[in-house]
Chain A
């Protein structure tokens, strides 16, 4: 079983459209994992049935039992997150600022601080219309710990792949280079970098590839909207050559991407024969490179 992660650095380069297309080609051989847990969109294309769901608890959250509080203010003194505020002598914990370190509870002489597990989101296992299965999640609004939810989704996808004897776990990652991306890269066998020929696309590609290198994972690159800027396209090709990253394919700047999303379809099903062929050849290439 191989684990393939699709990331981009920059948002909106077409990661999810590409991943969903590969998921479509892979059918039963693929377990799809949507690890862009903060703005998960893949379910809009793959129509999951939400067969199984589970709450995801991570970290803790503190609150003050006002009947026990002696209003000494020690909790507010030690809080480094500015989460404990006093108004008219009453101390309260702002749940949006609380990072759940529990320091306040440890110094409270009246034991007035209650720690609870924090409900950080929900995760699901679904059957999808490609014939395969998908693991996905929804992070609670403003919740911390998206990296941990990503790790959870990935682990569940791996276990499911073993159970179902699937050949691939295909992971849709999140933009950026921070904790959710780091979490989605850990344990991967191959990384697909989706970029676009713009100054931002190349800038972000370089940064995210630096991260991939730290993990020593093999990577390949898809250039989406390839014909939008020949100069930047060449700059990306030069970068790929320097770093020895295989150029998997070019995809054209094409209204079919948006039309497919709007119709709730993958780009592979958009009706464009050319796009389908390009993506299908690319998926075969990826499979070969992960062998």
Chain B
């Protein structure tokens, strides 16, 4: 299924705020200096990779999810729909069937098992997908409407859009959501390589271990980038060396980087050392991703 010419790299972390977006945006811009690259912001709850680029909008579309809609005229109130919904999203209230869209997982059971076709599936808006372009950089993001709870369908849709729209582009980067639960799983599951960004603190280490467990479930090759290196302690280094996890880079702790980031600037353009680090990360990741494929 995977086109051997293309590589998808997911940038993830257990803990939030470790530098996923910083690494994703800088890496994407760095690659775009020489070749086309796709960056997909899969943190659909709080997408902010787009804040770091001046890019032209090229496309926008609404994201939907399918939910059942009750057709009173056809319903005989047999109650099958309420029995087959495992999410309690379809209930009977007196002479009516009520659907709770936020609980619905779009499994279609109620709709298709209804003997009277009284629950046709309809599309409900969940957010917006946008694509932007700045020369070689194709940037795609989805943002969930506020109040929408399910990130997974929007993440799946964004990945699909990116792959179908840019099948020729060699490198695709995913800026993943934080955590270890379903949104992260969806973001990383088909990636060729995962970069886990962490910080050298007990919080960083604890959440890194969870993220490693998550990635190992899929058997995807991965490496670690330790951000804010020089603060905290050596435990992340020790853990990686004990578990034989490659450390792809150590990005130094620096107030200057924090300031550049806070202003929405790309740090590698201001700090030459970071450019070298990005080059190294990219070379290692491409070699490792290809090596596994053979």
A141: chain B residues within 8 A (beta carbon): 180, 210, 213-214, 217
Task: A143 to B217: give the CA distance in the assembly, Å.
Answer: 12
Q: Are A178 and B150 in contact (CB under 8 A)?
A: yes
A147: chain B residues within 8 A (beta carbon): 149
Q: Are A38 and B201 in contact (CB under 8 A)?
A: no
Q: Are A146 and B87 in contact (CB under 8 A)?
A: no
Q: Are A44 and B202 in contact (CB under 8 A)?
A: yes
Task: Tell me if A179 is interfacial: C-beta within 8 Å of chain B.
Answer: yes
B228: chain A residues within 8 A (beta carbon): 258
B80 to A, closest residue via Cβ: A106
Task: Tell me if B192 is interfacial: C-beta within 8 Å of chain A.
Answer: no
Interface residues on B, range: 35 or more
A178: chain B residues within 8 A (beta carbon): 45, 144, 148-151, 183
A197: chain B residues within 8 A (beta carbon): 262
Q: Are A253 and B255 in contact (CB under 8 A)?
A: yes
Scan residues 52-70 of chain A and give those whose CB is less than 8 A from a CB of chain B: 59-60
B261 to A, closest residue via Cβ: A198
Task: A96 to B215: give the CA distance in the assembly, Å.
Answer: 12
Q: How many A-B residue pairs have CB under 8 A?
A: 189
Q: Are A102 and B180 in contact (CB under 8 A)?
A: no
B259: chain A residues within 8 A (beta carbon): 228-229
Of A44, A99, A176, A255, the contact of B177 (CB 8 Å cutoff): A176
Q: Are A10 and B17 in contact (CB under 8 A)?
A: yes
* 9-residue interface stretch from A22-30, A207-215, A243-251: A207-215
Q: Are B86 and A262 in contact (CB under 8 A)?
A: no
Of B16, B48, B180, the contact of A12 (CB 8 Å cutoff): B16
With A101-B109, A178-B144 in contact, is A39–B51 under 8 Å at CB? Answer: no
Binding site for B on A (CB under 8 A): 9-13, 16, 37-39, 41, 44, 59-60, 78, 80-81, 96, 99-103, 106-107, 139, 141-144, 146-147, 174-182, 196-201, 203-204, 207-208, 210-211, 214, 225, 228-229, 231-232, 253, 255, 258-259, 261-262, 264
Binding site for A on B (CB under 8 A): 14-18, 21, 43, 45-46, 48, 51-52, 84, 86-87, 105-109, 112-113, 144, 146-151, 177-185, 189, 201-203, 206-207, 210, 213-214, 217-218, 228, 231-233, 255, 258-259, 261-264
**A-B residue pairs, 3 tightest by C-beta:** A12-B17, A11-B16, A101-B107
